[in-house]
Amino acid sequence: MRRTRILVAGLMLALAGCGSFDDPTLREGYDPATAGPPPARSELPFAETRNLLWGDLHVHSGFSYDAFTMGVRALPDDAYTFMKGGAIEHALGYPIRASRPLDFGAVTDHAEYLGVPRHLSGAGDQPDEELRAALRSGGRLRMTWIFMRRAFFEMGSRDSRDENFGIDGQEEVSSAAWA
């Protein structure tokens, strides 16, 4: 634990010298009515050794404890829409779209505590206001602190996950997320 604290303090000091950032896309609002659907794709003819496919087999939705804790609010359907090239709402409220659709993809949420942090927050789809404020402020140090605090103290060990996410009725919450 002491080594972890020293590492965190060192990283914080290193980032203290970093300037702020400005991302104009953070100011855009997501409107589902104008969000484009996934583009039409033409089928490639089969070539046994010539078709290169791009995909992602490790995508977490807001049902996974780690993704939800780090601000992800997209659900599995949203993830698949994004992978197919459609626009979805980022957890901070602005539209995002992949620069090109993937050829394959899989949502691989953690079964452990599935849907529990989302349920505990009571907000579900609501954005993570702490992350939103940190991003809009442009403070890299603030973002790093939030990440370190959440990664090491909320999710870092089985005990901390049990303390933060272990609840009575956890099985029912997870069953609902599976459904």
Q: Is 163 left (phi over 0), alpha (psi -120 to 50) or beta?
A: alpha
Structural domain contains residue 44: no
Write the pLDDT tens digit of every residue in 25-34: 566 677 777 7
pLDDT of residue 157: 67
Write the pLDDT tens digit of every residue in 34-61: 777 788 877 778 888 887 889 999 999 9
Structural domain contains residue 163: yes
Q: Are 30 and 95 in contact (CB under 8 A)?
A: yes
pTM over 0.85: no
Domain count, the chain: 1
Structural domain contains residue 39: no
Structural domain contains residue 121: yes
pLDDT of residue 23: 58
pLDDT of residue 22: 58
Q: Are 163 and 99 in contact (CB under 8 A)?
A: no
Domain with 100, as residue range(s), is 57-179
Q: Where are the beta strands (DSSP E) in the chain?
A: 55-59, 88-89, 95-96, 104-107
Considering only CA atoms, which of 59, 56, 75 is closest in space to residue 118?
A: 75
How deeply is 128 buried, as exposed, middle or buried, from its count of CB atoms within 10 A (0-12, 13-18, 19+)? Answer: buried
Structural domain contains residue 25: no
Structural domain contains residue 151: yes
pLDDT of residue 159: 74
Rounded Cα gap, residues 153 and 149, in angstroms: 5
If the chain, 179 residues long, is cut into consecutive pieces of 10 residues, what is the mean pLDDT of each piece? 71 58 62 79 80 91 86 91 92 85 94 82 70 72 77 71 72 82
Rounded Cα gap, residues 107 and 80, in angstroms: 8
Write the pLDDT tens digit of every residue in 62-76: 888 888 888 888 999
pLDDT of residue 78: 94
Rounded Cα gap, residues 6 and 172, in angstroms: 40
Structural domain contains residue 107: yes
Structural domain contains residue 81: yes
